[in-house]
Structure 1
């Protein structure tokens, strides 16, 4: 199908412009105070803040991935950050941020600059309440358990799991669904012999826990023989999950009580016996959509009963970070994907497909920034 223009950030006041102009400088400051970084790293963060309001420069020649990113940058080098594709500029910003804090070399090698935010979220009372609420799942039918766990996974850290257990998602005061094809997802899982389900994770901590509980539900109810959980190979986009975050979440669950502890320990054993597989493909941190997925990753998706793409960034990478007309069919823009795919996403950026013109008009009439505020969500499925 014909492609729409890629989203860029050159319109002052637009959502992508605000990310580059406001959010990234604020994030640099937040990272600066999250860990006791020495003067050399403090200066590197100052330089990064200046660079992101200037033009795009190549990585230092000493960087191990200098050549890779020079190839990825191509004609973008020397241009304004605001004039190149938004998806690319965000990705490159996070690579530069990791370089500034010494993540790839020196004494701060491997220290996640976002770990303080992730750990704090694992210690919140909200997560403790979520874990305690798992005890009430046993009084529900499997179908109602499915609905509660899928909605908790959908809404991430906006979810109140105890409320989800007794209330349908579209009655939840947290937001509204602009598309709900969840029934097609469950039908797809029920309509084939148990196989592999790929889950492409989004954020860590409180958002990762319901993803893991949902994976356990698929395994224990026989809808999946194996769940492959794709995480990032290194820190990315503030909260994105890496392998260490999976381990931290499992430890938090296992140290709780009741069903949460049983689930956490069962998932731990699932990793050990290979029924829950954690993968971290380098392409997960590439500045491209899944149209460019390398053959080995495409084969992974092709072999799955369904691939579940979690979160906003994965949605943008799945459909393409482009100015699609909102009524464009989800099935059309994902036709290239090598197997059945489901998107489970809270809307936090402009991209959306599968929403009729009439529905868009109703949403626009509210005056709310429904595309970017995180108050609306969707479940979309291409099942063949």
Structure 2
């Protein structure tokens, strides 16, 4: 019998989510291949448009969450690129422009910045994160990408080190030209140290993130080395905001309660009763139109905060 310490109870569901989203994964890898091929010719505006698209693909990839579907089939069947326009109205806060300008500001002469991604779900969502990270590196918007996952299978579909490795290997072994090409590229990034995967016990502890500097100063210091930190998903949002019953109009910066190792952005589809940074009346209007707006996964935010802007 293999050691139980390596056993992932959720593995089958994660694997299924990946394989059932094959069509969408092929579409994404084909899209990225097309962008990479023409990278030299892209104007800054075109680069910005591709960035916005892939940021939103990574955002909506968070819909594919096994905890919200109670293990029901939840794969991505339609083209993630084609569905972006129809999803646009459901983004309640969209700070994409600030994320973009942060990446541009991090460009030292001949040396782009470092982006950290605090991961959420394995399966299709992880692929959307890898595709975004691929674009950031190939476009020169980032020099390196550090991924942060969980030490052990914690909350249904959370990414662990073995999910991360497995997803890249599966993509590499796919019987599809652009998928296998993407997978091979991701493997190279890891070999070259352009990409790296890290886990830390803090991510599976009950602390909110404003306690990180005190409870996990080494992790906080690691994140301080990033020029931008992307936090994926609902649980990370709850820990960013301390899962408190904030008024919807309270600023994201206030709800972070001093947490700010680096400029950060939450890419989150709403699945829990906490949401800050809305316009006056926005929450009330949503509640009257759609009582489940905070928990259905139908709405999303791209919320940005930078400690630098307060200096």
Which of the numbers 188, 209, 216 marks the counterpart of 2:102? 188
Question: 1:329 and 2:254 equivalent?
Answer: no
Question: 1:172 and 2:68 equivalent?
Answer: no
Q: Take 1:377 and 1:113, find their aligned partners in 2: how far apart are those partners?
A: 29
Q: Take 2:118 and 2:164, find their aligned partners in 1: how far apart are those partners?
A: 13
* Larger gyration radius, structure 1 or structure 2: 1
Cα deviation digits, residues 205-250 of structure 1 (max 9, x gap): 1110010111111111111111110000001110000011111111
Contact 1:130-1:162 at 8 Å conserved across structures? no
1:289 shift after superposition: 0.7
Query: Where does structure 2 lack aligned partners over 5 or more consecutive residues?
Result: 39-45, 65-75
Cα deviation digits, residues 81-125 of structure 1 (max 9, x gap): xxxxxxxxxxxxxxxxxxxxxxxx98423110110111111221x
Matched residue SS, 1:375: coil
Contact 1:121-1:205 at 8 Å conserved across structures? yes
* 1:219 counterpart residue number: 137
Matched residue count:
277
Q: Take 1:180 and 1:132, find their aligned partners in 2: how far apart are those partners?
A: 25
1:147 shift after superposition: 2.0
Contact 2:93-2:300 at 8 Å conserved across structures? yes
1:199 shift after superposition: 0.4
Larger RCO: Structure 1 or Structure 2 (Cα < 8 Å, ≥ 6 residues apart)?
2
Contact 1:130-1:161 at 8 Å conserved across structures? no
Q: Take 1:261 and 1:136, find their aligned partners in 2: how far apart are those partners?
A: 14
1:328 shift after superposition: 0.6
Q: Take 2:89 and 2:25, find their aligned partners in 1: how far apart are those partners?
A: 18
Matched residue SS, 1:355: coil
* 1:319 counterpart residue number: 241
Q: Take 1:123 and 1:338, find their aligned partners in 2: how far apart are those partners?
A: 36
Which of the numbers 238, 241, 246 marks the counterpart of 2:164? 246
Q: Take 2:48 and 2:165, find their aligned partners in 1: how far apart are those partners?
A: 28
TM-score, length-scaled by structure 1: 0.68
* 2:69 counterpart residue number: none
Matched residue SS, 2:302: strand
Which of the numbers 147, 151, 174 marks the counterpart of 2:52? 147
TM-score, length-scaled by structure 2: 0.83
* 1:292 counterpart residue number: 211
Report the aligned-residue RMSD: 2.2
Q: Take 2:77 and 2:229, find their aligned partners in 1: how far apart are those partners?
A: 24
Query: Where does structure 1 lack aligned partners over 5 or more consecutive residues?
Result: 1-104
Contact 2:190-2:196 at 8 Å conserved across structures? yes
1:357 shift after superposition: 2.9
Contact 1:175-1:377 at 8 Å conserved across structures? no
1:337 shift after superposition: 1.8
Cα deviation digits, residues 46-69 of structure 1 (max 9, x gap): xxxxxxxxxxxxxxxxxxxxxxxx
Q: Given the superposition, is the C-alpha separation of residues 133 and 218 from structure 1 closer, same or farther in structure 2, using an over 3 Å criterion?
A: closer
Aligned 1:63-82 pairs, distance under 5 A: none
Matched residue SS, 2:281: helix
Matched residue SS, 1:172: helix
1:308 shift after superposition: 0.6
Question: 1:122 and 2:15 equivalent?
Answer: no
Aligned 1:201-220 pairs, distance under 5 A: 201-220=119-138
Contact 1:233-1:242 at 8 Å conserved across structures? yes
Contact 1:144-1:165 at 8 Å conserved across structures? no
